[in-house]
Amino acid sequence: MRSCGALLSQPLSSVVGMVSASRSSKSKRHFLCRACGASSGTWSGRCPSCDEWASVEEVHEAPRARHRAPATSQSLASFDGADSIPWPTGVSEFDRVLGGGFTPGSVTLLSGEPGIGKSTLTLQTAVSVAMSGAAVVLVTGEEAPAQVAARAHRLGPVPDSLAVLDCTSTEAVCEMMATVKPQLVIVDSVQTLRADSIDAGPGSATQLRESAAAVVAEAKRQGVSVILIGHVTKDGNLAGPRLLEHLVDTVLSFTGDRSDDLRFLRAVKHRFGPTTEVGVFEMEACGLQPVLDPSRRFLKDRTTGVSGSVVVSLVEGRRPVMVELQALVSRRGEQPTQLALQGIPTSRARLVLAVLERRLGLPLAGHDVFASLVGGGRSDDPGLDLALGLAVWSSLTDTVISSDVVACAEIGLAGELRAPAQIDRRLQEAYRLGFRQAIVPSSVSAGPTGLRLLCCSTVASAVDVLHPVLAA
């Protein structure tokens, strides 16, 4: 582990409010789970909150000072908000997810599995920001600066205002923020940070919490935007998720299917904007490229002429996205049935399957149901209900749905179809992509000229209306 003692002019623990390593006789014993962040007064080998083994560790906190300087309040109207206008990174899909860009003084936690492309995404963002002449510092606790430089040169020109700090010391990072005051600081990764004043190893619950808290405090003080890169555990959780999630302003997750080059950037929490937008990238030899037409990309390798496949028009944030939904229903005999889903919420799938059984009489008992959104994306848009229902019906009955049909409706418990939000934009997108028939709820009266609306009031009538348009 590299340290950066030479960079420190003075210990920052008093300034940034970090806990003292000295164990006062008055300090309370306090335990935290590294996996879920649950806190308790006693140690246990297994976290009572998340059941993780060997994740509970003692945290030593100095008792808070009893006498504080009196705080002075300030008129809210005296803040004009000019300091909190987001500035764009120039990476279009990143800015889309952030709602325009980074707010000064904001701290963003970027989480993702190892190898998914977090370092690449942040390096490209750093280059883009530094190209405008703004100072950007990459804190490289994970990789040597030479490695980072080699990657940066491979991706394109490297601006002079992009600097590297080869360091794992929390105090040194805070010191650098105070003296350099860069526009953007990227810490790769938060798990490598170590506050010297704390007697705990990097990646431990105590270090994660206190180091992140110190960086957040300094970012706010200096108005510096910070990205903290965080690894996820094998279950997809950030190590210490709740420890860090409440400390930072924004939590982004970067995901993708390893078998595909597509990558998705989503906001899980965002204090300065909505969490509905999705950034879509494609990992190429020259780095991550924004996917500007996700619908076309998702439908590129589409299967046609096979049962169990139907295209759905979803909305992610303000952008309609066409995706192929595939289902496979296979007989399992006496064994209990299994539901294997990719990109589709289990609760929605259970509802749709229950409606198919009860309202359509589909004999799904004794079958396994596999369903996925092709391309590795995921969506909790209720507008995918009908496509899922039709894909399952299509697979079970081995009937092929015509390739120019798109399905777009939410299913209610009575089997009724409801119009999802932004139906007009969904239908426009379907027409743009070459679809000529859309199965929609009866309440939808108009769509783009050239797109035939197959209006249905229930999922049963949607199945009926499909028969005449089944592919030969």
Question: Where on the chain is the footprint of ligand TYD (CB under 6 A)?
Answer: 112, 114-120, 151, 283, 285-287
The verdict on 313 binding Mg ion (CB under 5 A) reads no
Cβ at position 46, least distance to ligand TYD in Å: 29
Q: Tell me how far apart the terminal alpha carbons of the chain are, to the nearest angstrom.
A: 65
Compute φ and ψ for 452, nearest 5 degrees.
-80, 125
Residue number, 105 or 287, with CB nearest to ligand TYD: 287
Quote the least distance from Cβ 233 to ligand TYD, whole Å.
14
CA distance 232 to 251: 12
Q: Would you put residue 115 in left (φ > 0), alpha (ψ -120 to 50) or beta?
A: left
Q: In the bound complex, what is the minimum distance in angstroms from residue 301's beta carbon to ligand TYD?
A: 19
Note whether 122 binds Mg ion by CB under 5 A: no
Q: Is the dihedral of CA 458, 343, 398, 365 positive or negative?
A: negative
Query: Would you say 96 or 263 has its CB closer to ligand TYD?
Result: 263
Smallest separation (angstroms) from Mg ion to the CB of 146: 15
* CB nearer ligand TYD, residue 286 or residue 292: 286
Interface segment toward Mg ion; rule CB under 5 A; list 117-125, 165-173, 245-253, 438-446: 117-125
Choice from 13, 103, 119, 191 touching Mg ion (CB under 5 A):
119
Closer to ligand TYD at the Cβ: 167 or 213?
A: 167
Instruction: Confirm or reject binding of residue 211 to Mg ion (CB under 5 A).
Output: no
The DSSP string of 284-328 is ETTEEEE-S-HHHHHTTT---S-TTEEEEEEEETTEEEEEEEEEE
Using the minimum distance from each CB to ligand TYD, give the nearer residue, 199 or 257: 257
Pairing verdict, β 405-407 and 410-411:
unpaired
Report the interhelical angle of 170-180 vs 205-222 (nearest 10°). Answer: 10
- Please answer whether residues 2 and 141 qualify as being in contact, where contact means their C-beta atoms are separated by less than 8 angstroms: yes
Q: Which is nearer to ligand TYD, 2 or 28 (CB)?
A: 2
**Angstrom distance (rounded) from CA 90 to CA 364:** 49
216 phi-psi bin (left φ>0, alpha ψ -120 to 50, beta other): alpha
Comparing CB distances to Mg ion, the nearer of 185 and 371 is: 185
Q: Work out how close the CB of 193 gets to ligand TYD at its nearest, in angstroms, rounded to a whole number.
A: 16
Residue 7 DSSP one-character state: G
Residue 439, beta-bridge partner list? 407, 454
CB of 218 to ligand TYD, least distance (A): 24
372 vs 391: CA distance, rounded Å: 10
CB of 119 to Mg ion, least distance (A): 3
- Which entry of ligand TYD, Mg ion, none binds 286, CB below 5 to 8 A by partner kind? ligand TYD
Region of 115-123, 132-140, 213-221, 317-325 interacting with Mg ion (CB under 5 A): 115-123
Closest CA to 381 of 239, 281, 277, 464: 277
For residue 282, the minimal CB distance to Mg ion (Å) is 18
112 binds, among ligand TYD, Mg ion, none (CB under 5 to 8 A by kind): ligand TYD
191 binds Mg ion (CB under 5 A): no
Q: Could you list the residues that contact Mg ion (CB under 5 A)?
A: 119
